[in-house]
Amino acid sequence: MQPTTTAIVYLFGIIAIAAGVCFLQIRSSQRSRLWWGIALLLWGAGALFAGTSYEAFSYAIKCAGRDTCIWTSWWEICYLVLSVASVDAILIAEAYSCTVGKWRKALILYAVIGAALYLAAVIIGALIPIKFLISFELLILVCAPTVVMLLLINGRRYYKLKKRMDLVLLRTWAWLVLTIAAYFLYFISGLTQRLWAQGIWFPENDVLHIGLIIWMVYITLGVSPLVEDEPL
């Protein structure tokens, strides 16, 4: 059990759900805000699933009453599926706020197909099993093209239109990229082990989720008041 890490993950999940509720409360007729709300509710729920199985109740779920611990659980499968679905929902929100016509349809189709394919891959990975198909690394690989698209869409729009909404969204994606990069850099640095040798528990997951908490607060305060549908 990792009490501090559990608390940080649960805190992030609660903040994400609260952010999703905020978007839904102010959605009016804006479909972009609706999909932002859906995305953050999914992300928050996924974080709660992750905190439950990876940290808080890991032993009870995967080891208790067994001769050998199982290597994953359906809690973790739900976390992976909800997390990718959340990113795809954000892409749909982006489609409504930043594109029109065939580009909007293409982005929405990409998001729906991507979510369906990932769901199939995760189920296959759990049943066969194939560990890579239900790994955090594959989750990052699946979401990376979407994040790149988000950066390109808002970067291009801000260059052309100089709209504040695009600048705020551009900062949003940049902070997400920096947070994930910090996670991997911390992981390969070995700092977790060196700090633990001195009695200090601060793993790479804490780096990730503290960064995501800051990210979620920025989305709530900065993105929610500005995002709106692009007129057809």
163 by DSSP, 3-state: which?
coil
Q: pLDDT by residue (tens digit) across 118-165? A: 999 999 999 998 999 999 999 999 999 999 999 999 999 999 999 999
Q: Give the list of residues 6+ apart from residue 89 with CB closer than 8 angstroms, or none.
A: 35, 36, 38, 39, 42, 111
Residues 34, 36, 37: CA angle, nearest 5 degrees: 65
pTM of the predicted structure, to 2 decimals: 0.94
Q: pLDDT by residue (tens digit) across 81-96? A: 999 999 999 999 999 9
* Structural domains of the chain ordered from first start: 3-223 (1.20.1070)
> Using an 8 Å Cβ cutoff, are 91 and 146 in contact?
yes
Q: Which of 21-30, 38-47, 63-72 has the lowest mean pLDDT?
A: 63-72
